[in-house]
Amino acid sequence: MNAVLDLLGAVLLLLGSVFCLAAAVGVVRFPDVLTRLHAATKPQVFGLVLILTGVALTLRTGHVAILAAFTVGLQILTAPVSGHMLARTAYRTDQWDDEHASIDELGEDLEAAGFTNIFEEEPGPPGNREPRS
């Protein structure tokens, strides 16, 4: 019974590390900051869930299970926040690839609300430009 649980823990560890490899391959191969962010955060949390389940199955004590559950909960709470902050900065500083993106709903919303994109203004001396209507 103990050996079977150890084997199950090792299988889960292998699956979790395959997910981490998928995240790393996605970060290398994807063309843009936002797509790389997508590849880095989604498999990362699930791989961590699998790995920590494997650890909790191998070390069969109570406080390890509590620690694993706490870490999983913390990661699930914080990973979307950090991903959102990185994506927000990438969008607002215009460091993303907007030529290959087909839909930009946030841009349409911002234009409908009246914001102008300061990185799209034509270069030239101030005062010469026509005011935007």
Partner 1 sequence: MIETITLGLVVASVAILVVASLLALHRLATGPTGLDRGVASDVILAVLIAGICTHAIVTRTSAGLIIILVLSLVGFTSAVGLARLITGASARERRFLEAEARAAHEARQRVERERQEREAAQERADQAGEGETS
> Would you tell me which residues interact with partner 1 (CB under 8 A)?
3-4, 6-7, 9-11, 13-14, 16-18, 20-21, 23-25, 27-28, 33, 36-37, 40-41, 44, 47-48, 51-52, 54-55, 58-59, 61, 63-64, 67-68, 70-71, 74-75, 78-79, 81-82, 85-86, 88-90, 92-95, 119
* Nearest approach, Cβ of residue 57 and partner 1 (Å): 9
120 or 130: CB nearest partner 1: 120
* Nearest approach, Cβ of residue 109 and partner 1 (Å): 20
3 or 113: CB nearest partner 1: 3
**116 DSSP 8-state letter:** -
For residues 42-65, one letter each, b for 16 or more C-beta atoms within 10 angstroms of the residue's C-beta and e for the rest, the string is bbbbbbbbbbbbbbbbbeeeeeeb
d(CA 86, CA 72): 21
- The answer to whether 47 and 20 are in contact (CB under 8 A) is yes
92 or 129: CB nearest partner 1: 92
* Nearest approach, Cβ of residue 85 and partner 1 (Å): 4
Q: Does residue 114 sit in helix, strand or coil?
A: coil
Contacts of 41 (CB under 8 A, 6+ apart): 79, 80, 82, 83
